[in-house]
Chains A and B, each alone.
Chain A
Amino acid sequence: MRTSTSRPSSNGRIDTARRGSGTRRLLAVAAITASLLVGCSGSRAGTIAAGNLPDVLRDKDATSEELFALYSDALVQKDTELLGSVLGDQFLLQRTNGTWTDKAGFLAQLPDLRSFTAGPVEERRGEQTIVARLDATGDLVVNGVKYRMTAAPMLLVFEWTAGHWVLQAQGNFNLPGS
């Protein structure tokens, strides 16, 4: 059976400077979780053990806004361990300029995201998927190339698998240039 519900997120914007309490809570959970995991056994290299994942990843009712905030903050902090868990093993990212990467390539050469702002998220949910559209503005450098700090669309696909959300696909529409 195929089911789907439309669940537009709140009208609040997401940014690295001004965050709601929910996002601060997520960040705190992520930070505490990461600190507790130093030396933790049982997880794959570069990932967090499933039982220790941030609550938002294990919450099937998590919104794409919350998932995107966690992902973006992990990028800003260059938290490769958390990113290793946020990204699905079959993650693919496509950029407007034709370049693309997979999970291994992405983690090996993380973009330099210094700050970001995102507009309201348009979200569609299926049984195991969330497809999210949003406009994002970021202070971003990819492979040494500075990207424009203008709002650009983004498409994200999250999959619910093995009891948590992972990001499986991303389309970035921002363009290189200053």
Chain B
Amino acid sequence: MLASCGSTPTLDDPAVTGRALVTEFLTLLSTEEAPGLEDFLADGFQLQRADGTGATKAEYVEKHALVESFEIGDDLVAVQDGDLLTVRWTVVTEESVGGAALGGDEAPRISVFVYEDGDWRMVAHANFNLPA
């Protein structure tokens, strides 16, 4: 981080922070309990999946994806605009949602984080992975 505008840090390299945040997100989803997920998500969080389903924060904390393994692609772009950090990325995962496996092909994601209470918190996430 280079500088700070108000309480929000101005990121020297948003991609480094973006990669760390999406890695943390997938890591949090590796257990049923997902400790830390509630704190990681902003209260206004919404998730959208390719099959048309979605979730709010409460719904996702209650019933989140279970990620067994993941490999984030090299093609990651992150941009910061003040309190907002947007990351577009790709990932290969072994994951399931409600017991249904998603496809294992590399698929895009776009995630948006908002800086609140001294941390970046995920406020929106689009998962373009289709059911297997």
Contacts and interface: CB of A to CB of B under 8 A. Distances in A.
Interface stretch (B25-33, B63-71, B96-104, B122-130): B122-130
Contact of A169 (B44, B80, B110): B110
A131 B44 contact: yes
A2 interface: yes
B82 A161 contact: yes
A153 B88 contact: no
A73 interface: no
A2 B117 CA distance: 7
A94 B110 contact: yes
Interface residues of B, number: 35
Given A133-B46, A133-B54, A155-B46, A2 B79 contact: no
Given A131-B124, A171-B110, 18 more contacts: A2-B116, A4-B42, A90-B81, A90-B86, A94-B110, A100-B77, A124-B56, A129-B84, A129-B123, A133-B46, A135-B52, A153-B48, A153-B54, A154-B48, A157-B112, A169-B112, A173-B48, A173-B126
Interface in A97-142: 98, 100, 102, 122, 124-126, 128-133, 135
A3 interface: yes
Contacts of A161: 81-82
Interface of A: 1-4, 6, 88-90, 92, 94-96, 98, 100, 102, 122, 124-126, 128-133, 135, 153-155, 157, 159, 161, 168-171, 173
Contact of A153 (B45, B50, B121, B123): B50
A126 B54 contact: no
Contacts, number: 115
A89 B81 contact: yes
A169 B86 contact: yes
B108 interface: yes
A98 B91 CA distance: 11
A124 B45 contact: yes
21 contacts: A2-B42, A2-B117, A2-B121, A4-B42, A90-B86, A92-B77, A92-B110, A96-B108, A100-B108, A124-B44, A129-B84, A131-B46, A131-B123, A133-B48, A153-B48, A157-B86, A159-B82, A169-B86, A169-B110, A170-B110, A173-B128
Residue picked from B46, B56, B82, B117, most chain A C-beta under 10 Å:
B46
A130 B43 CA distance: 11
A103 B107 CA distance: 22
A76 B82 CA distance: 30
Nearest to A134: B48
A154 B110 CA distance: 12
A129 B110 CA distance: 16
Contacts of A95: 108
B13 to A, nearest CB: 15
